[in-house]
Structure 1
Amino acid sequence: MPTLYDLPSLYDAVVTPGPCEPFYRRLACSTGGPILELACGTGRLTIPLALDGHEVVGLDASYPMIRAARAKADKSRAKVEFVVGDMRRFDLGRSFSMVIVSCNSLAHLRANEDIVECLSRIARHLVPGGLLAFDVVNPNMRDLAQCGNTAERSNTKPDRSFVSGSKELIAYDPVQQVQILKWRFEELGRKIPPVALMRLRAFFPQEMPLRLALVGLELAARYGDFSGGHFTGCSPNQIYVARAARTSRISSLNAHAST
């Protein structure tokens, strides 16, 4: 059974741009070097960043998504390097002034060791003083306790066909902190074959600051929405900006070895 990420045209039809893209584009203006976007999908953020004048690399584990992103970049004449890769294990052999993981994409990493490995890889790819910016959903305990909640989305595809999608929470594992979601789609009244269940990690507010510190990243800011509002328990999102140490680990190790 295909996943939603095997169907980029369907993904683009129901997961449309929102407030996160302008937020990251504004933040990117504060950096003076290359940007890496992990879990870049079909380039919804990567391509606008490139059109803003940034040097951008986009990485995603799904080849169909990367193929669609390359086609969109060619059409818009955006200069972007797209790479198929796993955000837990990537090694691009270069450093970036900023790394972005948008749209709750870290939630696809359900195991603690995978989350730490991804953040460690990010830290290794940042220049001294470089920024990591990412967002995850702020869990609503009432929603997690009421399986069966459904969110509806609809849009018109480029071929003018109308697509509607519904995302239903069918189970939540409180021990593993994993939500199990089911997507259903219809196109002009025709049901589209189902896609595989989606399993997403729920992150609670005390987790991320500790994980960032664990890999040597300093928390610079935490927001509750993409307008930069203060984070509270009722905020819809947890939006983090973290900074790499001003002195690289490699430089510190070399200095220590020479003494």
Structure 2
Amino acid sequence: MNYDDLAAIYDQQYDSYRSDLHFYAGLAGGVGGRVLELGAGTGRVTAFLTRRGVPVVGLEPSREMRARAQARSEREGLSLNLVAGDMQSFALGESFGLIIAPFNALMHLYAPSEQLQALENIRAHLAPGGTFAFDLYVPRFGALGTLRHEGETFHAPDGSRTDLFLLQRHDPPRQLITTEYFVDTALPTGELRRTFHTLTQRYYTRFEVEWLLRCAGFGAPRVTGSFQGGPLTEGSEVMIFQAQASAGRGGSQGL
């Protein structure tokens, strides 16, 4: 999937998302060394941690996403440590006391073989006693097959207005949700431009994730249903996992 094409709309759509920031900052505050963020995107979490003095490495495969993260760092007067790479094959030559994959990053792994390869690679980069923390949304979808506008309107400094419409399709046997984005931009000249983007994500269930973690050499994770630490319940919108490598299965990248 070409995430370069999604970088602009991703940056607009999720730049103001704040629900997870203090959770990951709290975890990072208890780590003495560097933190690794997987799927850093346009730098939303990376910049937040960096502003708080956390030494963080942001791994991101998309060149355009990294470029937007770099532009963010320049706007905010920060120096972000961004690295090109994907979760399955990155090799950084060091281990980390905390590795995070915020905001559904693991949902861009589609097959069990990809998921296990990524999780094993993540485990190999964990320092002894280190933690892998990530969040995934609970699979619950809006009206499927219906074009809808969910109040997402963006105003640019040049006076243009962008409205985001989306249509979702569900593939239950493969646990895939595909979102088609229709992005309408009204320019100050009166011209209307429409762009179209498609994003497919592989969603998970709680016990599927726990099984994958076990298969990849992690111990039983701590699972919560909110960033404030509440239990995972029927009404939860997010699943948060914190896992450590099983005894004798820690990483060796920094050795």
Query: In which range does the TM-score fall when normalised by the shorter chain?
Result: 0.7 to 0.9
Structure 1 residues 191, 226: CA separation in 2 closer, same or farther (over 3 Å shift)? farther
Question: Could you tell me which amino acid in structure 2 is paired with residue 54 of structure 1?
Answer: V
Q: Does 1:184 align with 2:182?
A: yes
The Cα of 1:151 is off from its aligned counterpart by 5.6
Structure 1 residues 136, 55: CA separation in 2 closer, same or farther (over 3 Å shift)? same
The Cα of 1:144 is off from its aligned counterpart by 7.4
Structure 1 residues 236, 150: CA separation in 2 closer, same or farther (over 3 Å shift)? farther
The Cα of 1:150 is off from its aligned counterpart by 3.8
Q: How much identity, in percent, do the aligned residues show?
A: 31
Partner Cα distance (2:125, 2:9) in 1: 32
Partner SS for 2:67:
helix
Question: In structure 2, what is the equivalent of residue 212 of structure 1?
Answer: 213
Partner SS for 1:91:
coil
Q: Number of matched residues?
A: 246
Question: Could you tell me which amino acid in structure 1 is paired with residue 112 of structure 2?
Answer: N
Question: In structure 2, what is the equivalent of residue 174 of structure 1?
Answer: 172
Asked if structure 1 preserves the Cα contact closer than 8 Å seen for 2:224 and 2:239, the reply is yes
Matches within 5 A, 1:219-238: 219-238=220-239
Partner Cα distance (1:34, 1:226) in 2: 22
Where does the alignment leave 5 or more consecutive residues of structure 1 unmatched? 252-259
TM-score by length of 2: 0.87
Partner SS for 1:193:
strand
Structure 1, 12-21 or 115-124: larger mean CA deviation: 12-21
Partner Cα distance (1:217, 1:18) in 2: 28
Question: In structure 1, what is the equivalent of residue 119 of structure 2?
Answer: 119
The Cα of 1:248 is off from its aligned counterpart by 5.1
Matches within 5 A, 1:84-163: 84-140=84-140, 143=141, 146-148=144-146, 150=148, 152=150, 153-157=152-156, 161-163=160-162
CA deviations over 1:171-230 (Å, ceiling 9, x no partner): 2222211111101112237333212x2111110121111111111212342111222221
The Cα of 1:132 is off from its aligned counterpart by 0.7
Partner Cα distance (2:37, 2:212) in 1: 19
RMSD: 2.3
Question: In structure 2, what is the equivalent of residue 6 of structure 1?
Answer: 5
Partner Cα distance (1:182, 1:129) in 2: 41
The Cα of 1:158 is off from its aligned counterpart by 5.6
Question: In structure 2, what is the equivalent of residue 256 of structure 1?
Answer: none
The Cα of 1:49 is off from its aligned counterpart by 0.7
